[in-house]
Structure 1
Amino acid sequence: MSTSTTGDAILKLDGVSKTFGGLKALTDVSFALQPGEVVGLIGPNGAGKTTLVNVVTGNLRPSSGSILFEGKDVAAQKPHEAARRGLARTFQIVQPFPQMTVLENVTAGALFGGGAASVGDARDMARTSLDFVGLAPLADRPAAQLALAARKRLELAKSLAMNPKVLMLDEVNAGLNSSEIDGALALIRSIAERGVTVLIIEHLMKVVLSLSKRLLVLHHGQMIADGPSREIVADERVIEAYLGQKYAAKLKERHHG
């Protein structure tokens, strides 16, 4: 099942595979993202979601297949080249530079990938990003002192300071309570409204369904579904691979109740 068109795609993967020795982490993965789209990427633990992001952003090189960003093959790029092109990502495990201030952390992001002409420019870009995510009041605080929700926002601010065209969010809501998640959702919507293409990797179905009209599903490194969110969560293969029968039964009750 695939509903993605590829004509004007900002990011297109075609037959991407990644092996580690004898282990196939990704097998023949193909999909395309359109400019300004918000797409969810779901799948059970070990499905290959983070590996996929690592391959797209140059942290890993694909074993085969092509990755086109704005029409150019970028499969051999390094992470800093990906960042400067406008391919940004957050990390599942948030690891800021603990001894540096919040502002210094984001300034480093702006220098690394944002194309800042000087440290002063990078600092200005960092302040703008911190303001956007609501961390401006904590700019001079050491990053080590931040609670988890604020560290997640710091990670977002670092990514935004890179001026992304495509932003990949890896489990950005993990460990947050429901009000913190609501705040994060509002932030992600604001980012999308700026025209940034967002790929959100997420376990919480409430989150992906509220943000994404389209879902990609990875299972054992293979793309088993790609289509409208509501159709995907009712797809038998997806239920079997990921959601479980209990969730499917609840969903059916809600639809027919």
Structure 2
Amino acid sequence: MIEPILRLDGVSKQFGGLAALTDVSFSLNEGEVVGLIGPNGAGKTTLVNVVTGNLRRSSGRILFKSEDVGLQKPYQAARRGLARTFQIVQPFPAMTVLENVTAGALFGAGAGSLGDARDMAMQSLEFVGLDALADRPAANLALAARKRLELAKSLAMNPKVLMLDEVNAGLNSSEIDGALALIRKIAERGVTVLIIEHLMKVVLSLSKRLLVLHHGQLIADGPSAEIVADERVIEAYLGAKFAARLKELNHG
């Protein structure tokens, strides 16, 4: 039996008396593209923060390649191959585009030298289509380019698992299409992708499997077509009254 590349067993996270995550369990297989959806405040970003060491889980186990990594620090997660993007893109504004990505390669991937890190950074910038802007200050980039810069930084860390947190937020339709094409190219490299997204058309175009968080609990995990028709998922997104009305219409 092939072991999953990432597995969560009963992971919980409390902030004082608030339960942000409660007994969350799932696994990701190598090369899989999985969508993580849920209403605002469901705990999606908290989950990514816990997996990557930005927050310490309160209980449960996080296994990466069968190794318990629940106590890791963010730089250790990055060097293991657990990379992520951030919902709010904040590059180092005084540094150039190339310098931003070089920092990711140097400290995240543990590149052997500054020269190696720059080479890795340039390859990532070429991959996302930002190589022509390598010498431009990151502060001068428009939002869509900043999102690509965030992707380039993550790719320069040579990830095995890449967690994308709302990479399409704020983009227009053509920019979203470009982002989707990039994500598909990343998946073709064999990288396992967990994509957090509010736009259902985006998630469904990328993922054959969906995870659904609601109030910090995993309420569904399965094939995308089945999940979007699940009454619990519809209720979580649209409310009990709408879910009941939709059920009436479907059975009327």
Q: TM-score, normalised by structure 1?
A: 0.93
Which position in structure 2 is the counterpart of 1:210? 205
Counterparts of 1:32 and 1:75, CA distance in 2: 15
Q: CA deviation at 1:115?
A: 2.2
Which position in structure 2 is the counterpart of 1:42? 37
Distance 1:48 1:143, change over 3 A: same
Which position in structure 1 is the counterpart of 2:107? 112
String of CA shifts for 1:168-214, please: whole Å, max 9, x gaps: 00000000000000000000000000000000000000000000000
Q: How does 1:1-257 map to 2 (within 5 A)?
A: 7-243=2-238, 245=242
Gaps of 5+ in 2: none
Q: Which one-letter code corresponds to 1:108 in the other structure?
A: A
Q: Matched residue of 1:215: which SS?
A: strand
String of CA shifts for 1:96-119, please: whole Å, max 9, x gaps: 000100000000000111121000
Q: CA deviation at 1:45?
A: 0.5
Q: Which one-letter code corresponds to 1:29 in the other structure?
A: V
Counterparts of 2:3 and 2:199, CA distance in 1: 30
String of CA shifts for 1:74-131, please: whole Å, max 9, x gaps: 0000000000000000000000000100000000000111121000000000000000
Counterparts of 2:187 and 2:128, CA distance in 1: 13
Aligned length: 245
Q: Matched residue of 1:206: which SS?
A: helix
String of CA shifts for 1:132-154, please: whole Å, max 9, x gaps: 00000000000000000000000
Counterparts of 1:10 and 1:71, CA distance in 2: 7
String of CA shifts for 1:199-231, please: whole Å, max 9, x gaps: 000000000000000000000000000000010
Counterparts of 1:109 and 1:206, CA distance in 2: 31
Q: TM-score, normalised by structure 2?
A: 0.95
Q: CA deviation at 1:8?
A: 1.8
Moved over 3 A (4+): 243-246
Counterparts of 2:163 and 2:157, CA distance in 1: 13
Q: Which one-letter code corresponds to 1:242 in the other structure?
A: Y
Gaps of 5+ in 1: 1-5
Name the Cα RMSD after superposition: 1.5
Counterparts of 2:127 and 2:54, CA distance in 1: 27
Q: Matched residue of 1:203: which SS?
A: coil
Among the aligned pairs, what percent are the same residue? 84
